Amino acid sequence: MKLRRQKHAKKNMGFYKNNFQFREPFQVLLDGTFCHAALQNKIQIREQLPGYLGGPTQLCTTRCVLKELESLGKPLYGAKLIAQRCEVQNCSHHKDPVSGSACLLSMVEEGNPHHFFIATQDQDLANKVKKKAGVPLLFIIQNTMVLDKPSPKSLAFVQTLQTSQLVPEHQKQSIVQLKEKEGLTKQEGEKRRKRKRAGGPNPLSCLKKKKKTQESKEPSAEKKKRRRKRYRVKTKAVQSVQKNEGE
Ligand SMILES: [Zn+2]
Distance 62 CA to ligand 1 centre (A): 6
**What residues are neighbours of ligand 1 (ion), with CB under 5 Å?**
62, 64, 91, 93, 103
Distance 34 CA to ligand 1 centre (A): 17
What's the pLDDT at 99?
96
Distance 104 CA to ligand 1 centre (A): 7
Assess contact for 62 and 104: CB atoms under 8 A: yes
Q: Where are the alpha helices (DSSP H) in the chain?
A: 2-20, 32-40, 45-53, 63-72, 77-84, 100-107, 123-130, 152-166, 169-199, 201-246
* Parallel/antiparallel/unpaired status of strands 144-147 and 137-141: antiparallel
* pLDDT per residue as tens digits for the range 101-149: 999 999 999 999 999 999 999 999 999 999 999 999 999 998 999 999 9
Rounded to an integer, the average pLDDT of 43-70 is 96
